[in-house]
Amino acid sequence: MEFKAKEIAEILNGTVEGNPEARVSAFARIENGKPGAICFFANPKYEHYVYECKADIIIVNNSFEPQKPVPATMIRVEDAYAAIARLLEYVTAKRRSYKRYRGLMSKRFLSTRLGRKVYLGNFSHVGRRTVVGDYTRIYENVYIGDDVKIGSRCIIYPGVRIYPGMVIGNNVIIHSNAVIGADGFGFAPLEDGTYKKIEHTGNVIISDDVEIGANTTIDKSQIGSTIIGKGVKIDNLCQIAHNVEIGENTVIAAQSGIAGSTKIGRHCVLGGQVGIAGHITIADNTSFGAQSGVLGNVRKEGQAFLGTPAIPYKDYLKCYAIFKRGAEEKK
């Protein structure tokens, strides 16, 4: 897909400085810019690449003042980082637009309802009494059980499994091999040392504008619902246990795990491999650094934590300085 500089400037509400007819057909990092590519410059430490870059177009902030001649055509915008994200979104949407849609389902399941221009890939299964909203795309080899509700303009990539009775909002993206609605890890210990399975009769509710990474699993509740709030972003290989509630616009990086019945607030950030114990509550705007182990409630909003057990970030740095000094004294 090819764009001229003047077309990109129009999309981004920017201004062209250089050749408005410059053409690009690919994106590249500024340190790897090549002819025919577009890059962006937002971090000052990369400024030297602006003068060396061979890309045809570079998106820069309005405030940028070059210290040397810039070979590429520049498009000036208010925020270069936000602009490139917007442009990537625009191009992706263009690539996803299909001229042909298919609405295929077994004649046995006459109660299944597919909205307008739903795309249903080969070898995918949509169960009885399931409702799929308009313009949703369900790719190949997807399983969707009975009594599922899926909103409009969702994207469900190959290999996703959605168990019966789950609820998916609008504009939700679920990447390959994610599992929504498996039984939670609930077993009752018996006197003879064995474990009896506790049946899970609830569901998972995923709100609007959520994105779920590949191979992530979200378990259904024992009773009630596991709830993923509006705008939540979950990376690959994460585990969300039964009856968990995650507040709006929280982001969770890869390989993190949240144990059962925990409530995560709004606008929280979980770094990679964060582990959170069950039956606790995390306040809004809380951040956890990578590999933090969270064992208790966080009641005060806006704190940052690190370590296992997780402690306030500044306290962790002080403790680390003591550990490091002790190790150096032993040498």
Tell me, rounded to whole angstroms, the distance of Cα 91 from its chain centroid: 18
- Cβ distance 304 to 318 under 8 Å? no
Mean pLDDT of the chain: 91
Tell which residue, 322, 297, 300, 301, has the closest CA to residue 310: 297
Structure tokens at 2: 């090819």
Residue 91 is classified by DSSP as: H
CATH architecture of the domain with range 113-315: 3 Solenoid (2.160)
pTM: 0.80
Question: What token pair was written down for 279?
Answer: 């039956």
Q: Among the options 125, 242, 267, 279, which is catalytic?
A: 242
Query: Buried (b) or exposed (e) across 226-238, using 16+ Cβ within 10 A?
Result: bbbbbbbebbbbb
62-112 pLDDT per residue, tens = 999 999 999 999 999 999 999 998 998 888 777 666 444 454 444 445 678
Structure tokens at 311: 């402690």
Give the strands of the sheet with 211-212, arranged side by side.
Answer: 119-120, 137-138, 155-156, 173-174, 211-212, 233-234, 251-252, 269-270, 287-288, 304-306, 311-312
Domain at 3-96, CATH class: alpha beta
Asked whether this chain's domains 3-96 and 113-315 adopt the same fold, the reply is no
- Residue type, position 117, single letter: K
Percent of the chain at pLDDT > 90 equals 77
Domain ranges for the chain: 3-96, 113-315
Tens of pLDDT, residue by residue, the chain (331 residues): 789 999 999 999 999 999 999 999 999 989 889 999 999 999 998 999 999 999 999 999 999 999 999 999 999 999 999 999 899 888 877 766 644 445 444 444 567 888 998 999 989 999 999 999 999 999 999 999 999 999 999 999 999 999 999 999 999 999 999 999 999 998 888 899 998 888 888 999 999 999 999 999 999 998 889 999 999 999 999 999 999 999 999 999 999 999 999 999 999 999 999 999 999 999 999 999 999 999 999 999 999 999 999 999 999 988 888 888 776 666 6
Q: Is 242 a residue of the active site?
A: yes
Assess contact for 213 and 249: CB atoms under 8 A: no
